Structure 1
Amino acid sequence: MQFLSTKIGDNFNILQRDLIKYHSKVEWTRENQPLPHALRLSSDYLINEGRALFNIDNVKLDDQATYTLTARNSSGVASTSAKLKVKTVATIDDTSYVNPDVFEQFEMKKKPNWNQPIDNADNARLKIIEPLKDFRLVEGSQAVFSCTIDAYPKPEIQWFKDDQTLMASQRYATYYDMNMGIVTLIIKSALLDDQGVYKCVVSNIAGTEHTQAKLSVDFVPNIDETSYINPNALRHLQPAEQGQQPDDDDKYKKPYFVKVPKNLEVTDGSTVRLDCLAFGRPTPTLTWYFNDQQLAEDPTHKCLVNEEGVNSLLISPASFPDTGTYKCVARNKVGEASFTVDLKVVDKDALIAPYFIEHLNNIVIPEGKDTSLSCTCSGTPVPTLTWQKDAKVLTPDQEYRIDINGGHSKLYIQNAQKSDQGWYQCTAISPAGSTITRTKVTVLPPGAVQTMAPDLTKLIKQPVEPEVPGFVTALHKLKHVQPNKTPDERPKSPSDMPMGHNFGSIWSKDELQDEETIYNKDKPIPPKFKTHFKASLNLRERDPTRFEAKLIPIGDPTMTLQWLRNGEPLRSASRYVIKYDFGLVSLDLLWTYPEDDGVYECVATNSCGQDKTRAELKCKGNRSIIYDTQLPDGMEGYLKLQEMEEKIKIASILREEQAEDEAPESCAPEIIMHLEDNRVDEGTMAKFMVKVTGYPKPRVSWFVNKTHCVTNKSHTVILFLNN
Structure 2
Amino acid sequence: MFILSLCFNFKQHHSEHARLQVPTSQVRSRSSSRGDVNDQDAIQEKFYPPRFIQVPENMSIEEGRFCRMDFKVSGLPAPDVSWYLNGRPVQSDDFHKMIVSEKGFHSLIFEVVRTSDAGAYACVAKNRAGEATFTVQLDVLAKEHRRAPMFIYKPQSKKVFEGDSVKLECQISAIPPPKLFWKRNNEMVHFNTDRISLYHDNSGRVTLLIKDVNKKDAGWYTVSAVNEAGVTTCNTRLDVTARPNQTLPAPKQLRVRPTFSKYLALNGRGLNVKQAFNPEGEFQRLAAQSGLYESEEL
TM bracket (short chain): 0.3 to 0.5
The higher-RCO structure (CA 8 Å, 6+ apart) is 2
Report which of the two has the higher share of helix. 2
TM-score by length of structure 2 reads 0.39
TM-score by length of structure 1 reads 0.17
